[in-house]
Amino acid sequence: MQRLRSLLHSLDRRSYPAYKEIRGTHGTPPVELFIDHVQGDPFAAPSRVRIRMHTQWPRGRFDSEIKQTALEDFLQRRVARWIHRRGTGRSGSGKSGAILVVRPGQEILKRSGILVTPSWVEIRAAVGLPAAGRRILARQAVYLLTEELPALAQETLTPAVADGKELLEHLETAEDSHWLRAQLPAHGLVTFLADGAVLPRRSGVDPRPMDQGARSLSSPVSLRKTFMMPSGHKIRGLAIPEGVTLIVGGGYHGKSTLLSAIERGVYDHIPGDGREFCVTVPTAMKIRAEEGRRVASVDISPFINDLPDGRSTQCFSTDDASGSTSQAAGLVEAIEVGTGLLMVDEDTAATNFMIRDRRMQLLVSKDQEPIIPFVDRVQELHRSLGISTILVLGGSGDYLDVANLIIAMETYEPLNVTEQARGVAARVPTGREHEPPGPLSGPPERIPDPLSIDPSRGRKSVAISAKRKDTISFGREEIDLGSLSGPTELAQVRAIGDALNRLASSHLDGHRTLREALELLERELLDNGLDLLRPFGAVHGDYAMPRTVDIAAALNRLRTLRIVRMVS
């Protein structure tokens, strides 16, 4: 690092762009510093660096894909905690002195911030090079780059300081959870929630487990299943089978909390999260009404047809969808990309899409109603397409007639009330007539036009950014992700934005269907890692792995998307 120290001292008080001279590799093992990108201004996006620690982790700590992900996730958390304890470190103009990395949430995800290899471990970080105004502060830069960053690597990445009980628990939890999720299809299940799980969160903005007054989950005997996990630990819990499941109960008794845990079960969770062994089939998607969203050439005719204006719903497009058409489109789009489980909360659904009760059937004749209520399709989705559904309901009693399983939440305790509910349905018939919707088959697959997925803006050929979890700035467009429950970290949203660009530039050619292109992208990411998504520029640590179903959902909400044609 001596050469870097000397170079920095020679730059003292010079104009900020002179920092460009420090780009390159500095230091020798055990710690090397790679300065890949230097910001041109103290108020610009921070500089990109990699700190490489030459150390050998025992091969047994990362000899499988899930263990490697868990080890890198664990080290990312150590790095983030070290930086948090350090404080902002900022003194000077703009972002001077800052060290920035992704701070992980409750989920164990594949990220680009840490890379573990057999001979070294690397941190990808952003740093604010110190300045006063737009003049270089050499002394502060020397301390930041040649002392703090090497200390960060030495104190967080080596087996000598990190390989202990906490790491072993982290790896074991990830392995067991990953294995448990993989067992679901063989046992005819869509989700499993372990006894003792703590499902309530501290608040809507704090995803950590509720620390006071939370009741742990206890499964009803009739729905209880036991597994012996790879760690040797036996686990039992609530097993929800394939088919149509209702979650019912009074307000504030835990219906939506249970559904939220099922949603998040597509990811592995850290020890202490409370939902470590709550697992769900990985392609599960939550469907809701999204008034005002754009829909591009979706066949919603299995759910809505014979519109009064004569418009076809077999290739339905609109710039301003209603609640019912948006929910129908979201459902068909999820089927198109291979979902195995649909989740619906009555509170966020379009009422006229979900149900048409007997009184409405008598008042408005069937030939005047273009909507085929979901209640008349939900069983056929499972029988014909193998797609299960979990619904949270508080007011639609007609679903009691079509459900395979009914769970009532009473003070956060799940009860199997299926037989009781069937008795109620038999004693108190609604008089509603089933409206035969006709046969159901998988929707035609769509072939997107790659030219309609344009990330350019002004002079920039690629202008993609994500500042919040609910929005991607993509070229001249803003993609609204507020209705998606899949992405859990901003780092995933960043990856989704660049994944759309990769999808359009490398895999969508006007002939491949969306599903085919997504399969190619998924294989690429598994083989080559998240660095593949970089459109250009320095390697960085700002990505977390998204699900391909969420990439598809984001694309479907891009307002410029055009479809070349649909194929059956």
Give alpha helix (H) positions in 89-221.
138-143, 149-156, 159-162, 165-183
Query: Is 536 within a domain?
Result: yes
Query: Is 320 within a domain?
Result: no
pLDDT at residue 310, rounded to an integer: 79
Query: Is 375 within a domain?
Result: no
Q: Which helix (H) or strand (E) holds 2?
A: helix 2-10
Last residue of a domain, one of 163, 198, 230: 163
Q: Which residues contact 116 (CB under 8 A, 6 or more apart)?
A: 57, 62, 68, 71, 72, 75
Which class for 329: exposed (0-12), middle (13-18), buried (19 or more C-beta within 10 A)?
buried
Rounded Cα distance between 167 and 70, Å, is: 9
Rounded Cα distance between 192 and 240, Å, is: 6
Count of domains observed in the chain: 2
Query: Is 522 within a domain?
Result: yes
Query: Is 78 within a domain?
Result: yes
Query: Is 525 within a domain?
Result: yes
What does pLDDT average to in each consecutive run of 10 residues of the chain (568 residues)?
95 96 96 96 94 95 96 98 89 89 97 97 97 94 97 97 96 98 98 97 92 92 98 97 97 93 98 97 97 97 87 94 97 97 96 93 90 95 97 92 97 96 94 86 96 96 95 97 94 98 96 98 95 86 97 98 95
Q: Which residues make beta-bridge pairs with 275?
A: none
Question: What's the one-letter identity of residue 536?
Answer: F
C-alpha separations of 54 from 28, 219, 513 in Å: 9, 48, 44
Radius of gyration of the chain (CA): 26
Q: Which helix (H) or strand (E) holds 121?
A: strand 121-127
CB 312 within 8 A of CB 300: no
Q: What are phi and psi of 28, to 5 degrees?
A: -135, 160
CB 455 within 8 A of CB 462: yes
CB 17 within 8 A of CB 38: no
Query: Is 152 within a domain?
Result: yes
- Residue 110 CA, distance from chain mean position: 11
pLDDT at residue 246, rounded to an integer: 98
- Which residue has 């007539």 as its token pair? 433
Structural domain of residue 91, as residue ranges?
A: 2-163
Rounded Cα distance between 92 and 83, Å, is: 18
pLDDT at residue 309, rounded to an integer: 79
Last residue of a domain, one of 163, 189, 204: 163
pLDDT at residue 410, rounded to an integer: 95
- Residue 46 CA, distance from chain mean position: 26
The encoded tokens of residue 366 equal 């069937």
Other Cβ atoms less than 10 A from the Cβ of 429: the count is 10
Last residue of a domain, one of 163, 182, 216: 163
Angle between helices 490-502 and 514-528 (to 10 degrees): 120
The encoded tokens of residue 87 equal 């404080």
Query: Is 232 within a domain?
Result: no
pLDDT in tens, 515-557: 999 999 999 999 999 999 998 877 899 999 999 999 999 999 9
